[in-house]
Amino acid sequence: MSPKSPLTMLITGGARGIGRGLVRHFVQSGHRVFTLDSDLEELQNTVSLALKQWIPEAESRDRNSGIKPLTRFAALTVDLKDRGAIIDAVGSVAQFCGENGKLDVLINNAMPGPHTWSDGRVMEDADAAIMVEWDEKVQVGLTAPFQLSRLCVPLLKVDEDEPSVPNPQLNPEEGGDGVQETSKEAERDPATMTNTKTKQKPGCIINISSTRAHQSEPDHEAYSAVKAGLLGLTQSLSISLGQRHNIRVNAIIPGWIHVGNENRKADAEKKQWVDGLTREDMNWHPAGRVGKVEDIIKTVEFLIESEFVTGEEIRVDGGVGRRMVYPE
Ligand SMILES: NC(=O)c1ccc[n+]([C@@H]2O[C@H](COP(=O)([O-])OP(=O)(O)OC[C@H]3O[C@@H](n4cnc5c(N)ncnc54)[C@H](O)[C@@H]3O)[C@@H](O)[C@H]2O)c1
């Protein structure tokens, strides 16, 4: 995607894993990224990578292309269980958006692990730990995306008061009758069907769900409920925010995306993507391999650029969800 028109993006859970890959890609590509994460140590490592590698790469390209240097990256430690902290964080995001106050993309990616219940628990255990974990997963994985989407609407929408491109048919000075209604000709002519949003496009929201919204192994009730909830939230937001502000909202449904190389420890050990994966892991996928962060990046780019796609769910699982499994 062209760095000539840098996008301003908010990505949650950018300290490690898929989120870190998204942050790296979009910063390196010349876009402006704000990320939120609760893991201080991982986030510090990501900030250090951004300052030492990703930003200098993007800035050297800017210098060569004559683009004005921008504040390219900001990171904040925020626990997405904390509604007050989310409100403060969106205030910082608004400052990051700068003078025009425009956010182009919100990616709701953060989710506490593991996907199963922690410490080998099962849902019928007698103690209260299961309910504490349920609350945390629902708060971070579902409530926070809703709250962030809600609070970011003023940043994602295009200001209705912004002056529109002059339209001669509606302008008495140019020979029109000044009536603020669209004439039959105007309705037929796409050039006159522009509205006050001609100058800027509204932003979009991308929610990261999971194939576990539809398919299960034992013992991940909270994770599945959150990820299925995100799909309901996506379709509902796409209508409410689309109707009022033309904000598009889509979901990505990843299958197995191997991120064993996307964290601080793996950096220190110089781990490669393939480390820890077997031939069997690869062959289990009809596409012939396990998923990579790049597979999610490509889907995010597709959704950002596809102005006629909203309310959709895109499965990125190498075909595993289509596989019929019988007992051997
Ligand atoms: N990797 C996969 O195979 C896969 C498959 C399907 C869906 N997903 C989804 O993709 C997203 C990223 O997954 P991942 O594999 O990169 O996971 P990950 O655990 O590597 O990264 C998740 C990030 O979210 C952050 N986070 C957790 N709790 C938080 C909180 N309370 N406040 C703020 N940040 C918090 C973590 O610190 C971490 O940086 C998740 O939503 C996950 O459910 C991943």
What tens-digit pLDDT sequence spans the chain (328 residues)? 655 689 999 999 999 999 999 999 999 999 999 999 999 999 999 999 999 999 998 888 777 766 555 688 999 999 999 999 999 999 999 999 998 899 999 999 999 999 999 999 999 999 999 999 999 999 999 999 999 999 999 999 997 665 433 333 333 233 333 233 333 333 333 433 333 334 589 999 999 999 999 999 999 999 999 999 999 999 999 999 999 999 999 999 999 999 999 999 999 999 999 999 999 999 999 999 999 999 999 999 999 999 999 999 999 999 999 999 899 8
Pocket lining: 113 vs ligand 1, CB cutoff 6 Å: yes
Find out whether the beta carbon of 121 lies less than 6 Å from any atom of ligand 1: no
Residue that is written with structure tokens 């010349």 in the block: 30
Asked if residue 177 is part of any domain, the answer here is no
Q: Please tell me the predicted confidence (pLDDT) of residue 70.
A: 60
Q: How many domains does the chain have?
A: 1
SS3 at position 67: coil
87 within some domain: yes
Q: Is residue 222 part of a domain?
A: yes
Distance CA 7, CA 27 (A): 10
DSSP secondary structure string, 174-231? GT----SS--HHHHH-GGGG--GGGSS---EEEEE--GGGT---SS-HHHHHHHHHHH
Distance from the CA of 37 to the center of ligand 1, in angstroms? Answer: 10
Given a contact cutoff of 8 angstroms between Cβ atoms, the answer to whether 15 and 78 are in contact is no
pLDDT at 62: 73
Contact partners, residue 57, CB within 8 Å, separation at least 6: 28
Which pTM value belongs to this model? 0.89
Cα of 16 vs centre of ligand 1, distance in Å, is: 8
Copy the structure tokens of residue 197. 């949003």
Q: Which helix (H) or strand (E) holds 264?
A: helix 264-268
Give the pLDDT score at 324: 92
Atom of ligand 1 minimally distant from the CA of 262: 20
> Looking at the domain assignment, is residue 318 inside a domain?
yes
153 touches 245 (CB < 8 A): yes
Report how far ligand 1's centroid is from the alpha carbon of 238 (Å): 23
In a domain, residue 214? The reply is yes
Shortest-distance atom of ligand 1 to CA 263: 20
**For residue 169, is it within any domain?**
no
HSE at residue 23, side-chain half, CA atoms within 13 A, is 36
Return the pLDDT at 58.
Answer: 87
pLDDT of the residue at 99:
86
How is residue 204 written in tokens? 């979009």
CB atoms closer than 10 angstroms to residue 215: 12
| Nearest Cα to Cα of residue 191 among 162, 160, 170 | 170
Kindly state if the Cβ of 17 falls inside 6 Å of ligand 1: yes
Contact yes or no for 167/196 (Cβ under 8 A): no
Full residue range of the structural domain in which residue 97 is found: 8-117+129-161+203-322
- State whether the beta carbon of 79 lies less than 6 angstroms from ligand 1: yes
Provide the angle, in degrees to the nearest 10, between the axes of the packed helices 129-138 and 221-245: 20
For 48, residues 6+ apart whose C-beta sits below 8 A from its C-beta are none
| Sheet of 32-37, strand order | 73-77, 32-37, 8-12, 105-108, 204-208, 248-254, 313-316
Catalytic residue among 73, 96, 117, 223: 223
- Domain containing residue 237: CATH number: 3.40.50.720
Longest dimension (CA), the chain: 79
Structure tokens at 16: 């490690």
CA of 63 relative to ligand 1 center, distance in Å: 34
Ligand 1 mutation target, pool 11, 12, 18, most atoms within 8 A of CB: 18
Ligand 1 centroid vs 12 CA: distance in angstroms?
9
User: Does the bond joining 6 to the residue before it have cis omega, within 30 degrees of 0?
Assistant: no
Residue recorded with tokens 């942050």: 23
Residue 74, helix vs strand vs coil: strand
* Index of the ligand 1 atom closest to the CA of residue 39: 37
d(CA 212, CA 214): 5
Is 145 a pocket residue for ligand 1 (Cβ < 6 Å)?
Answer: no
38 lines ligand 1 (CB under 6 A): yes
Q: For residues 320 and 211, is the Cβ–Cβ distance under 8 A?
A: yes
* Closest ligand 1 atom to Cα of 136: 31
The number of angstroms, rounded, from the C-alpha of 48 to the middle of its chain's C-alpha atoms is 22
Residue 311 CB neighbour total at 10 angstroms:
15
Which residue in 16, 13, 25 sits closest to 79, CA to CA?
13
Ligand 1 in contact with 140 (CB < 6 A)? yes
Known active-site residue 223: yes
Whether residue 192 lies inside any domain: the answer is: no
Q: How many angstroms does the Cα of residue 115 sit away from the middle of ligand 1?
A: 9
**Phi (first) and psi of residue 76, to 5 degrees:** -140, 135
**Separation in Å, CA 157 to CA 10, 99, 201:** 14, 15, 8
* 277 within some domain: yes
